[in-house]
């Protein structure tokens, strides 16, 4: 006899850009074990094979039920397109809630569209604040949190930020970090660095020797010619001490080419790679002596792995990676960056510890809380 699995509630989960995919994977698995039916919508903010499809393949994320195909554009255009294309789906599907993750343009756009239809918004990774409003993601974070009905946080300080902004405490739940759920679930499947590094172009990177990783994609670092030139110059000098693997985001590579910086890069011991799949990047990070980055997610992943991270920004929205993890905020001043690299090469990682609830169970906590809330609402 076959049993039909009738789900009680329907939630639309929205993803759009690379950092969303590793966050949604464990949430979808947890929801599969629950009375909630999860519908996945991909906005299409990222569309390249190696920024999007490869994550679905490697992390066994089911194909989205709906693809909005918004593509690239100015931020306003991108947000407006997602809202326009998502709205009819909300009317058609009438979900009990819309769940958004992270801080990309798709996150904010889907949250606004849902709230305009009086559909409750659930925000995973709420409350992070860089306090830098020039950063596009900071605006996305603040606005999404203001209209969200349930806010799940990765660190306790995020909850304090939300309370300060007037969010009622009963909406905020500290659950831990879903990105770390994914990291723990996949560490034993991570690809050996040797295979990944063999594909680098430019200088060959010998995986038997210590290597560092560079990732850059923030507009504040890559869009202005002088800033990018100074940063690359600093990395070229640093590569005299340690070979550097550089998986370049399409935005960054486009700027490097447009500004004519490929010859500058070729002066260093730097191996250029395309954007990597999740398992390739995880393996590369796990084996690295240090990571230089302006990414938010990588600050967390290196803390979870215990690998030293030097963040090439003036601020971070993830302070726990500094107070408890292996991250150090170094900014972009060449002298400070070089000193920090020298320090890591001679003394290794800061003594850190795994932050509270970064234990691989964050998605399960989210699922349990959501089911409780939905059951509570049904009873009212």
Residue closer to ligand UD1, measured from CB, 48 or 377: 48
Q: Which of 46, 123, 217, 249 is catalytic?
A: 217
Site residues for ligand UD1, window 75-114 (CB under 6 A)?
104-105
Binding segment toward ligand UD1, per CB under 6 A, in 13-21, 149-157, 300-308, 345-353 = 13-21
Which tokens hold the place of 363? 């998605």
How many C-beta atoms surround the C-beta of residue 218 within 10 A? 21
Our finding on whether 250 is near ligand UD1 (CB under 6 A) is yes
Terminal-to-terminal C-alpha distance of the chain: 35
Binding segment toward ligand UD1, per CB under 6 A, in 42-50, 91-99, 309-317, 371-379 = 42-50
Our finding on whether 142 is near ligand UD1 (CB under 6 A) is no
What span, in angstroms and rounded, lies between the C-alpha atoms of 68 and 18? 16
Contacts of 242 (CB under 8 A, 6+ apart): 210, 211, 212, 269, 289, 290, 341, 345
Helix (H, G, I), strand (E, B) or coil at 73: coil
Which tokens hold the place of 353? 């510890």
As a 3-state breakdown, the chain gives helix, strand, coil percent values, each rounded to 5, of 50, 15, 35
Our finding on whether 47 is near ligand UD1 (CB under 6 A) is yes
What span, in angstroms and rounded, lies between the C-alpha atoms of 308 and 246? 16
Strands 201-202 and 270-273 turn out to be antiparallel
Asked about 217 being catalytic, the answer comes back as yes
Which helix (H) or strand (E) is 265 found in, with range? helix 262-265
Binding mask 269-308 for ligand UD1 (x = CB under 6 A): ----------------------------------------
What span, in angstroms and rounded, lies between the C-alpha atoms of 185 and 4? 29
Tell me which of 123, 129, 191, 217 binds ligand UD1, using CB under 6 A.
217
Tell me which of 81, 125, 137, 280 binds ligand UD1, using CB under 6 A.
137
Radius of gyration of the chain (CA): 21
Our finding on whether 136 is near ligand UD1 (CB under 6 A) is yes
Site residues for ligand UD1, window 306-335 (CB under 6 A)?
none
Tell me which of 14, 19, 56, 61 binds ligand UD1, using CB under 6 A.
19
> How many amino acids of this chain bind ligand UD1 (CB under 6 A)?
17
Residues at the contact surface with ligand UD1, assessed by CB under 6 A: 17-19, 45-48, 51, 72, 104-105, 136-137, 217, 249-251
- Residue numbers annotated as active site: 217
């Amino acid at each position: 006899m076959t049993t039909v699995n009738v789900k009680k509630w329907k939630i639309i989960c929205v993803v759009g850009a690379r950092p969303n995919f590793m966050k949604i994977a464990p949430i979808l698995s947890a929801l599969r074990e629950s009375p909630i039916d999860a519908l996945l919508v991909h906005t299409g903010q990222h569309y390249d094979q190696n920024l999007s499809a490869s994550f679905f393949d490697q992390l066994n994320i089911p194909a989205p039920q709906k693809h909005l195909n918004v593509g690239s554009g100015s931020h306003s255009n991108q947000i407006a397109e997602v809202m326009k294309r998502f709205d009819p789906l909300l009317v058609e599907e009438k979900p009990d809630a819309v769940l958004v993750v992270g801080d990309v343009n798709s996150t904010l756009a889907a949250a606004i569209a849902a709230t305009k239809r009086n559909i409750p918004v659930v925000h995973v990774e709420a409350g992070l604040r860089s306090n830098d409003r020039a950063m596009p993601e900071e605006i996305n974070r603040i606005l999404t949190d203001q209209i969200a009905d349930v806010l799940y946080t990765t660190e306790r300080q995020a909850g304090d930020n939300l309370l300060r902004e007037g969010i009622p405490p009963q909406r905020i739940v500290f659950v831990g970090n879903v990105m770390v759920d994914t990291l723990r679930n996949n560490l034993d499947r991570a690809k050996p660095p040797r295979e990944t590094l063999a594909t680098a172009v430019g200088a060959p990177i010998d995986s038997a020797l210590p290597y560092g990783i560079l990732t850059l994609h923030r507009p504040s670092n890559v869009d202005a010619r002088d800033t990018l030139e100074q940063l690359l110059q600093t990395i070229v000098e640093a590569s005299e001490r340690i070979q550097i693997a550089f998986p370049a985001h399409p935005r960054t590579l486009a700027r490097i080419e447009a500004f004519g910086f490929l010859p500058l890069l070729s002066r260093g011991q730097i191996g250029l790679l395309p954007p990597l799949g999740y398992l390739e990047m995880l393996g590369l990070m796990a084996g690295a002596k240090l990571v230089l980055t302006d990414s938010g997610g990588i600050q967390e992943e290196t803390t979870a792995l215990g690998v030293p991270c030097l963040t090439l920004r003036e601020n971070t929205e993830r302070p726990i990676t500094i107070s408890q993890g292996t991250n150090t905020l170094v900014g972009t001043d060449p002298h400070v960056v070089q000193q920090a690299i020298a320090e890591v090469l001679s003394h290794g990682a800061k003594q850190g510890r795994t932050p509270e609830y970064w234990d691989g169970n964050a998605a399960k906590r989210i699922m349990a809380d959501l089911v409780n809330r939905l059951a509570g609402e049904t009873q009212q």
